[in-house]
Amino acid sequence: MGIKNKKEFEKNDYPIIAEYAGGGIMLASLDAMVNWARANSLWPLTFGTRCCAIEFMSAGASRHDMARFGNEVARPSPRQADLLVISGTINYKMAPVLKRLYDQMADPKYVIALGGCAISGGPFFYNSYAVVKGADHVIPVDVYIPGCPPRPEAYLFGLMQLQKKIMRQKNFGKVNYSEAKPIISDKTSL
């Protein structure tokens, strides 16, 4: 994905020009500014299904304050939010609703999969007939936070990883990251 070594990944100083953003000096600073604004004011959508929603609420309370990351204003309407935190199990009846919510959000939008159920079905992976084995079968996910339920500190760490990912984005003309070509096979899978 373009990361060459661990040191490069951990640097978070945005005025450094040539390593992250594309273009010359003017566009690079503009990139850095836009990314800084987006990363530090992510507004989550109130979407909690199962127990992870309670840990998400704890992250918003006074002990693990997520307001210091700019994450405080949780909007109930998808048109006003830019971060969708999938906290809980997604089942076959809820999957179209999730897709519709994601479609209604305006760009730029980011998705965090919080908890085991959203990553892969979690404790409901084996023998369950109604659970989608991972929310990324429905919408693309940026950050996966494992745990059942993950601690609020784990959610804050995942949020910081998302912020680092946003800081590396190139907004003016260049490609953000090159994906591998999708493998198309004949196997019907989940």
Give the footprint of other proteins on residues 90-119 (CB under 8 A).
91-94, 97, 101
Look at the block and give the residue holding tokens 């369950």. 128
Give the footprint of other proteins on residues 62-81 (CB under 8 A).
62-63, 76
* Distance separating alpha carbons of residues 14 and 10, to the nearest angstrom: 12
**Binding to other proteins by residue 177, rule CB under 8 A?**
no
Distant-in-sequence, close-in-space partners of 156: CB < 8 Å, separation ≥ 6: 59, 64, 66, 69
* Distance separating alpha carbons of residues 141 and 112, to the nearest angstrom: 6
Instruction: Kindly state the smallest distance separating residue 153's Cβ from other proteins, in Å.
Output: 11
Point out which span in 12-20, 32-40, 127-135, 169-177 binds other proteins (CB under 8 A): 127-135
Inter-residue contact 164 to 14 (CB < 8 Å): no
Distant-in-sequence, close-in-space partners of 41: CB < 8 Å, separation ≥ 6: 70
Pick from 126, 127, 124: which is nearest to 88 by CA? 124
Binding residue for other proteins, selected from 114, 119, 131, 139, defined by CB under 8 A? 131
Q: Which residues pair with 85 in a beta bridge?
A: 112
Instruction: Kindly state the smallest distance separating residue 158's Cβ from other proteins, in Å.
Output: 17
Closest to other proteins by CB, 29 or 120: 120
By the criterion CB under 8 A, which residues form the site for other proteins? 45-51, 53-55, 57-58, 61-63, 76, 88-89, 91-94, 97, 101, 123-131, 133, 148-149, 151, 188, 190
